[in-house]
Amino acid sequence: MNFGSDNQTGASPQVLEAIMKANDGFLHGYGDEDYTRQTVEQLKRLFDCDLEAYFIPTGTAANCLALSSLVNPWQTILCHPEAHIIQDENTAPELLTGGARLKAIATEQPKIHLEDLKKVLSYQAKEAPHNSLAGAMSLTQCTELGQAYQPEEVKQLCLLAHQHGLSVHMDGARFSNAVAHLGCHPKEISWQAGVDVLCLGATKNGALAAEAVIFFNKELAVDFEQRRKRAGHLLSKGRLFSAQFQGWLENDHWLELATHANRMAEMMAKGLSEKPGCRIIFPVEANELFVTLPKSTTERLQQHGAEFYEWPTSGLAEHLQPSEGEQMIRLVTSFITKEHEVKQFCDLI
């Protein structure tokens, strides 16, 4: 019963096969071969547009190198207070952007609302060079609190950001879960809605280590090869990383995996909603649940071998916070989560 994180899995068999298929013989290094070129074409078809794409082994590097293409080192990047880039990537954003700044948009909600963005943009100090001005906004799809932005929400946020001269980055570590949940075309929550660069993560949902930095705004990609190389993220055997994407995308495997994970979360939500003392904090829209439980319950679950993380709650609105004696935990399902594990977990409560 592991609900710790979707990165505690291995790779899916189809992804491993793709690696093995690409493994034989000599091919040029550093992505100068057909596997990589074909995968970029595959992404163009998937997103139904022209684009530039680069493969990176980790989400942290993908996000931060993408951001470094959007802002100057003296600019600020706006994001949700719980965004991975501001919470979980140490100071990689600062290192890889050359010293740009992250600023959390004040909000008590699990995703950025248009009003939140309006407020921070109207209130920010604007006197260059004294103040560091916002140069980009970063959205996370799904958010770190398990919420999917609707296409219209992405569109409104991007529109306002662009009106203020900001570029838009999307952290898509769980983009596949969002697409599976929304049932939309990938383009509807990316370039059509105004996203300039998407970090499409395959690692959490079935790859070994594969993230694609996808520039819909191709002008922003001009220096990306230099940035990737000097951060040590240009892989010599590039084919073995782009091949992962091939295997992941082929026959909608990525959506199949995400759909399963989402379904497990839904099943978990259904099971938990019937338990007294158990409160699901946010709508379950993908593969993450945030739940408050009596501490005695969480302890018992752990004693029975259930894995999950206690989740900090400082920024949330008062009414969303656990009361005395309760704990908030995060439960994450994945492409390998089994129905019986979910059932077993619910039964334990």
Examine residue 312 and tell whether it contacts a second copy (CB under 8 A): yes
Q: Residue 172's beta-bridge partner residues?
A: 200
Examine residue 307 and tell whether it contacts a second copy (CB under 8 A): yes
Listed ranges 73-81, 139-147, 159-167, 246-254: which one lies at the site for a second copy (CB under 8 A)? 73-81
- Tell me the C-alpha distance between 326 and 293, whole Å: 5
Using CB under 8 A, count the residues that bind a second copy.
Answer: 80
Nearer of residues 33 and 188 to a second copy, judged by Cβ: 33
- Tell me the C-alpha distance between 110 and 317, whole Å: 10
**Smallest distance from a second copy to CB 194, Å:** 26
Examine residue 310 and tell whether it contacts a second copy (CB under 8 A): no
Q: Indicate the Cα dihedral angle 235, 239, 245, 250, nearest 10°.
A: 180
Nearer of residues 20 and 48 to a second copy, judged by Cβ: 20
Nearer of residues 62 and 161 to a second copy, judged by Cβ: 62
**Smallest distance from a second copy to CB 214, Å:** 17
Nearer of residues 100 and 268 to a second copy, judged by Cβ: 100
**Smallest distance from a second copy to CB 120, Å:** 8
**Smallest distance from a second copy to CB 187, Å:** 27
Confirm if 197 and 220 have CB atoms less than 8 A apart.
yes
Tokens coding 103: 């600023």
Tokens coding 330: 């995060």
**Smallest distance from a second copy to CB 48, Å:** 29
Q: Indicate the Cα dihedral angle 72, 74, 76, 77, nearest 10°.
A: 30
Listed ranges 55-63, 246-254, 256-264, 320-328: which one lies at the site for a second copy (CB under 8 A)? 55-63
Which of 48, 95, 165, 270 binds a second copy (CB under 8 A)? It is 95
Residue numbers 4-33 binding a second copy by CB under 8 A: 4-5, 7-11, 16, 19-20, 22-30
- Which x/- pattern over 237-276 shows residues binding a second copy (rule: CB under 8 A)? x-xxx-----------------------------------
Ranges of beta strands (E only) in the chain are 52-56, 76-79, 101-104, 134-140, 167-172, 197-201, 211-215, 279-280, 288-294, 309-310, 326-332
- Tell me the C-alpha distance between 315 and 108, whole Å: 6
Is the four-CA dihedral 88, 59, 280, 298 of positive or negative sign?
negative
Residue numbers 107-166 binding a second copy by CB under 8 A: 119, 123, 125, 128-132
10 Å CB burial of residue 294 (0-12, 13-18, 19+) is middle
Residue numbers 224-243 binding a second copy by CB under 8 A: 225-237, 239-241
Examine residue 35 and tell whether it contacts a second copy (CB under 8 A): no
Phi/psi of residue 75, nearest 5 degrees:
-105, 170
**Smallest distance from a second copy to CB 240, Å:** 5
What H or E segment, with its residue span, contains residue 35?
Answer: helix 34-47
Listed ranges 41-49, 97-105, 154-162, 178-186: which one lies at the site for a second copy (CB under 8 A)? 97-105
